[in-house]
Amino acid sequence: MPSSRPVTPASPGNPPTIKSPQPGVPLYGCGHIQLLLGSKLPEMIRNYKECLRVVYNDPVVPQTSKGKGTTLTPNYLCLHCSETAATAQSSIKHGAKTGHRIYVESRNGCLYCQMCEDFVWDPTLEELRLRKSEFGSFTRKRKIERLFTDAARDDPGFISTNTVEIPCRASGIRGIYNMGATCYMNVILQCFVHNPLLRNFYLSEGHQSSQCSYKNCMSCAMDDMFQEFYAQETTVGYSASNILASFWLSKRKAYEELASNKEQDAHEFFQFLTEELHEINGGGRPSLLEESPISKRSKTGNEPNCKCIVHQTFYGKLSSTITCQNCGDVNASIESFLDLSLGLDVLAKKKGLKAATQSALSLQKCLDEEYIRPERCEYTCHQCGTQEAKKQLSIKSLPNVLCIQLKVSVQFLVSRNGPPHSGKGKASSDGEPLGKE
């Protein structure tokens, strides 16, 4: 049976041509790789194979070496020439000097485009990488389809092939004590402490607590937590008292109602923590005259040039296009986003789903409804003055960590229907729920 997967120039026995793309399968990783492969396809495939041999073959120098050239951070192999950049900054200098913009990361062999400032997935070169990582050879045949099945994702061989162990470190698996209705905070802290981008930032002295002058600094408290989790192998619970104190002593009026010993919303604490870490590590502390809560909550996402660890980890870009239905005028804009908010009840009504069938509303359907299908909006065209327009939202750039907020209304009983089980309590006369949240 012929494979349904698109054939690429790296496929054995095929001429160096690429078939038309299938829906959902990109033809190239980005426009810059398209130009490169279009002009130098055989040379780039040959160079990429050499880079993959360096990445996946046994190292020439033992991994325990303490020489000057040894580093815990990945190197970047130039796809155009034999240059090896020890750091990302070195690759930028090399690219500015030679015009070489595509590099291979030394841990997994993934492609990095300097012009896009991001890792890119190219089907032609990715096929070579998967062959080399799984079989150690570029020519051995394999069934690519099985790598993308649910059963294959649970296979230990597949997991080990696509997992990189960090050398010389503790596992960081520890519990966090509940200090009185702080479970909402512990959930977010566990997500942060096991995030590889945040972990690498703090363990590489991204924030130096010894030189920090901020009072009740949240980033210093986070740095202490990372050091405690990864300094030694232990399963003893951790008390995040410094983080809780910094949270309560924060000057943010938009979140002052959260500073209490009551249960709070974990997503709101996530928003607070990202804004706080952004201002400390990249945006600068605000003045004592706090802005309004509305402007404060949206300030972090409106700084497109910020390179702080929070923006690198959690922020993506949304593209909004408003098209006038009368004259066809198009108004496009791009803005940063921290999370995607999906109202499940609203989306269910749009799709005409009844309560009995709401279980069929999947995350994929919600995203398709929100970011693929255009919808009518309130807009006055500056060309013709009409108010008939459609708005199309699309995700221009995904963040490294995507946060999705699912909003749904839940009905609950204000008074429990006690009888005949306890003989206490009263229910509504018609047996319907008395409240809605």
Same domain, 223 and 208: yes
Same domain, 255 and 272: yes
* Contact by Cβ (8 Å): 74, 106: yes
Q: How crowded is residue 16: how many other Cβ atoms within 10 Å of its Cβ?
A: 13
Strand order in 389-397's β-sheet? Answer: 330-337, 316-324, 389-397, 375-377
Same domain, 230 and 348: no
> Angle at CA 168, nearest 5°, toward 167 and 174?
105
Q: Model confidence over 135-192: pLDDT tens digits?
A: 777 765 544 444 455 555 566 666 666 666 655 556 778 899 988 888 888 999 999 9
Same domain, 291 and 325: no
Q: Quick one: residue 109, left, alpha or beta (phi over 0 = left, psi -120 to 50 = alpha)?
A: left
Residue 394 in this model has a pLDDT that exceeds 70: yes
Q: Model confidence over 217-231: pLDDT tens digits?
A: 999 999 999 988 988
Q: How crowded is residue 367: how many other Cβ atoms within 10 Å of its Cβ?
A: 15
Tokens of 72: 């815990």
Q: Structurally, how many domains does the chain consist of?
A: 3
Q: Model confidence over 367-387: pLDDT tens digits?
A: 887 777 788 888 888 888 888
The CATH number linked to 225 is 3.90.70.10
Same domain, 241 and 319: no
Residue 436 in this model has a pLDDT that exceeds 60: no
Among candidate residues 248, 370, 395, 412, the one with its CA nearest the CA of residue 316? 395
- In a domain, residue 228? The reply is yes
As a whole number of angstroms, the distance between CA 90 and CA 283 comes to: 25
DSSP string, 287-350: PSS---HHHHHHHGGG-TT--SHHHHHH-EEEEEEEEETTT--EEEEEEEESEEEEEHHHHHHH
Same domain, 307 and 319: no
Same domain, 215 and 329: no
Q: Model confidence over 22-70: pLDDT tens digits?
A: 555 557 778 888 888 888 888 999 999 999 988 887 766 665 656 666 6
- In a domain, residue 18? The reply is no
Same domain, 319 and 283: no
- In a domain, residue 24? The reply is no
Same domain, 155 and 53: yes
Phi, psi at 86, each rounded to 5°:
-70, -30
Domain residue limits at 289: 183-311
Same domain, 264 and 344: no
Same domain, 157 and 243: no
Instruction: For the chain, state the CA radius of gyration.
Output: 26
One-letter amino acid of 313: T
Predicted model pTM: 0.55
As a whole number of angstroms, the distance between CA 234 and CA 238 comes to: 10
Q: Model confidence over 2-17: pLDDT tens digits?
A: 444 444 444 444 433 4
- In a domain, residue 415? The reply is no
